[in-house]
Structure 1
Amino acid sequence: MAEVTSELMHELMKKLSQRFDKVDFTLSELRADNTTLRGQLHVLQGDINNLRITVGQVENRLDRIENRLELRELQEAQSRFEPHP
């Protein structure tokens, strides 16, 4: 078995420290990516909400138009049966 010297332990500790530095850096990158993704999802949710509002407004306008057309159709149908001068 090889002797464990202080130099060997020092080299081992240096390598471990380097690896932990890499792990810390990678974790920082992952956190930054996660924050960016969360921000993009937040913006996307806002866009979806705006689209829902717009579709709701279009549906309301379409309903009003349909109601007006039905009233006009009823008046036209009724006018056929009324005497004209």
Structure 2
Amino acid sequence: MSETVENLMLEHLKRFQATLERIENKISELTTRQNETHSAVIGLRRDQAQDAEVSAHLQVQLDAVRERLDRIERRIEITN
């Protein structure tokens, strides 16, 4: 009888161990996916920052062109 109980306990422990192993594998997989997602978000933020930098640079250039155009119009006395 005690041998049967021991075998039953061993079976339950083996099942618990197998379940725990599946859970650990799933957590590892989810951690990997979360890290990949985090890297992708960081890449998107970097791209956004670069786009904002380009936009700011273009705005500065456009402002300079407008200033030059205003000076030219004043020199040749063109009015709107």
- TM normalised by structure 2 equals 0.87
**Unpaired runs of at least 5, structure 1:** 79-85
**Unpaired runs of at least 5, structure 2:** none
In structure 2, the partner of 1:8 is 8
The one-character-per-residue Cα deviations of 1:3-62 (angstroms, maximum 9, x if unpaired) are x71111111111110100000000000110111111111111111111111001100000
RMSD across aligned positions (CA): 1.4
How many positions carry a matched residue from both structures? 75
Q: Deviating runs (4+, > 3 A) in structure 1?
A: none
- TM normalised by structure 1 equals 0.82
Counterparts of 1:19-58 in structure 2, within 5 Å, are: 19-58=19-58
- State the one-letter code of the partner of 1:33: R
Q: Percent identity?
A: 19
State the structure with bigger RCO (CA 8 A, min sep 6), 1 or 2: 2
In structure 2, the partner of 1:64 is 64
Question: Which one has a bigger Cα radius of gyration?
Answer: 1
